[in-house]
Amino acid sequence: MKGQPSMKESQENNKNKVSEETILKAAKEITVKFIEMGRITPATFNENFTKIHSTIKKTLEND
């Protein structure tokens, strides 16, 4: 019977998790850089931000 994870297991699991806030901040920074470079316009911010955010999230889930 498996009980509660040990403190060490819990800490290791927490190290591998990235908060939603961190993902949002990263997506925002990447999107802003693309706007500064002229690759994204403010008019397409919402569409591109959503794509960037989902890509980051999927990448982290696969690791």
**Every domain of the chain and the residues it spans:** 19-62
DSSP state letter for 43: G
- The model's pLDDT over 22-59, given as tens digits with 9 standing for 90+, comes to 999 999 999 999 999 999 998 999 999 999 999 999 99
- The backbone torsions φ and ψ at residue 38, rounded to the nearest 5 degrees and listed phi first, read 85, 10
| pLDDT for residue 30 | 96
Token couple for 40: 């994204």
| pLDDT for residue 23 | 96
Task: Please state, in angstroms and rounded to a whole number, the distance separating the CA atoms of residues 58 and 42.
Answer: 24
Give 63's contacts (C-beta < 8 A, 6+ positions apart). 16
The more confident residue out of 14 and 21 is 21
| pLDDT for residue 42 | 87
Task: Please state, in angstroms and rounded to a whole number, the distance separating the CA atoms of residues 59 and 37.
Answer: 24
